[in-house]
């Protein structure tokens, strides 16, 4: 098994981040597996100086180790370029698999229906129709340098004979199914500012690094369907699979062009950690970040115990170490009950050190 930490260096990690990191570490280490550290700094405008050092320091402080040197997405641009080139050879639904999109965010918001609160805004297909119906106009706009992003085309719809469903069995939330056309839509792989899209680089990295176990928040359940599709297309086009993953040997589906990607990761999406008002914890909530807690004298064992309680691994948030939790680690407690958890100072289970921090 190969798992990964994949933090974004946009600020100090908080209790919710550390809960996910602990879960990922326990999942891999309980199986005798490898644990990799990938610093997801591809969105350079959001990166804070020294945030990568804070991340590594907090992981080490908590007792969560990793194998090998940290991998930085910002140093892997050539890999992403190679992956993108591999996807330009095959059309989908009468348009290139990768096509230019001239829409602004405002254009997309105006044309899109309201969506669920998981960060997805389904693209209405404006430029997909433009590429298919007016290719000369597209070429003219590209020639004059019009600002554009690049999108990956999803299979059109089931009535056209396309295989549009992605299914997987999540180790916490159970069987999942998403329709690529209806629930996902054509997604950005390269932004109009030239930066690669998050969903694309995460998929490339997991495939190239041989990651076969992914642990993250349940708000990324829908992302798994998109990443699975991108992964399948990369494998179908012969993109290299990283060390520790099987070589691509699946038969291509001649009708849809999709294949079963080798070693599709096992996924565990964990409940989110909210604040007392029910909003997801954010890095701007400084009272719960590791820097503030450590400055107050909170110990690593106290944080670990509370995170373990949030994961339903122990009945009370008593201090412990990650190693204490390895024997008998299982996803079953969360699978049985996976509602989101709240960090509430009025909850009788909230330790005094945490309640004091919340009131500070």
Length of the chain: 360
Query: What local confidence, expressed as pLDDT, does residue 78 receive?
Result: 95
Query: What local confidence, expressed as pLDDT, does residue 253 receive?
Result: 37
Q: Quote the pTM value.
A: 0.89
HSE at residue 98, side-chain half, CA atoms within 13 A, is 20
Domain with 230 in it: what CATH number?
A: 3.40.50.620
**What is the separation of C-alpha 31 from the centre of its chain, rounded to a whole number of angstroms?**
22
Query: What local confidence, expressed as pLDDT, does residue 252 receive?
Result: 35
| Residue matched to tokens 């694309």 | 200
Q: How far is it, in rounded angstroms, from Cα 276 to Cα 15? A: 13
- Choose one of 251, 268, 285: the last residue of a domain: 268
Query: What local confidence, expressed as pLDDT, does residue 110 receive?
Result: 66
Query: What local confidence, expressed as pLDDT, does residue 24 receive?
Result: 99
Query: What local confidence, expressed as pLDDT, does residue 153 receive?
Result: 94
Query: What local confidence, expressed as pLDDT, does residue 108 receive?
Result: 76
- Choose one of 245, 268, 291: the last residue of a domain: 268
Domain that residue 24 falls in: 2-73+271-359
Query: What local confidence, expressed as pLDDT, does residue 258 receive?
Result: 41
Give the Cβ contact number of residue 49 at 10 Å.
7
Domain count, the chain: 2
Same domain, 21 and 7: yes
Would you call 340 exposed, middle or buried from its count of C-beta atoms within 10 A (0-12, 13-18, 19+)?
Answer: middle
Query: What local confidence, expressed as pLDDT, does residue 164 receive?
Result: 87
CA angle 117, 118, 124 (to 5 degrees): 85
Same domain, 109 and 250: yes
Query: What local confidence, expressed as pLDDT, does residue 71 receive?
Result: 97
Query: What local confidence, expressed as pLDDT, does residue 334 receive?
Result: 97
Same domain, 12 and 63: yes
Same domain, 211 and 259: yes
Same domain, 83 and 197: yes
- Choose one of 248, 268, 288: the last residue of a domain: 268
Q: How far is it, in rounded angstroms, from Cα 103 to Cα 133? A: 16
Q: How far is it, in rounded angstroms, from Cα 23 to Cα 308? A: 8
Same domain, 216 and 257: yes
- Which parts of the chain register pLDDT below 70? 93, 109-119, 156-162, 240-263, 283-285
């Amino acid at each position: 098994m190969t798992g990964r930490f994949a933090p974004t260096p946009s600020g100090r990690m908080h209790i919710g981040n550390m809960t996910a990191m602990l879960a990922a570490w326990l999942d891999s280490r309980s199986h005798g597996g490898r644990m990799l550290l990938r610093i997801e700094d591809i969105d350079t405008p959001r990166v804070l100086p020294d945030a990568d050092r804070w991340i590594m320091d907090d992981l080490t402080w908590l007792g969560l180790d990793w194998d090998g040197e940290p991998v930085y997405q910002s140093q892997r641009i050539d890999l992403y370029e190679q992956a993108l080139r591999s996807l330009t050879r095959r059309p989908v639904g009468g348009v290139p698999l990768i096509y230019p999109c001239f829409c602004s965010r405002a254009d997309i918001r105006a044309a899109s229906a309201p969506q669920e609160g998981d960060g997805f805004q389904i693209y209405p297909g404006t430029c997909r129709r433009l590429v298919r119906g007016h290719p000369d106009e597209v070429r003219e706009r590209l020639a004059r340098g019009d600002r554009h992003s690049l999108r990956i085309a999803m299979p059109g719809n089931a009535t056209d004979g396309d295989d549009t469903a992605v299914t997987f069995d999540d180790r916490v939330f159970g069987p999942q199914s998403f329709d690529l056309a209806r629930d996902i839509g054509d997604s950005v792989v390269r932004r109009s500012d030239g930066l690669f899209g998050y969903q694309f680089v995460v998929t490339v990295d997991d495939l190239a690094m041989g990651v076969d176990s992914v642990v993250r928040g349940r708000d990324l359940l829908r992302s798994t369907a998109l990443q699975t599709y991108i992964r399948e297309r990369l494998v179908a086009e012969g993109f290299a699979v990283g060390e520790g993953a099987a070589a691509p040997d699946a038969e291509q589906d001649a009708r849809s062009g999709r294949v079963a990607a080798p070693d599709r990761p096992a996924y565990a999406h964990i409940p989110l950690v909210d604040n007392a008002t029910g909003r997801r914890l954010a890095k701007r909530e400084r009272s719960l970040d590791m820097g503030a807690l450590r400055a107050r004298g909170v110990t690593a064992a106290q944080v670990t115990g509370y995170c373990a309680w949030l994961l339903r691994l122990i009945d009370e948030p008593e201090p412990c170490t990650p190693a204490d939790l390895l024997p008998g680690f299982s996803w079953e407690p969360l699978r049985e009950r996976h509602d989101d958890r709240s960090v509430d100072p009025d909850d009788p289970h909230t330790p005094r050190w945490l309640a004091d921090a919340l009131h500070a």
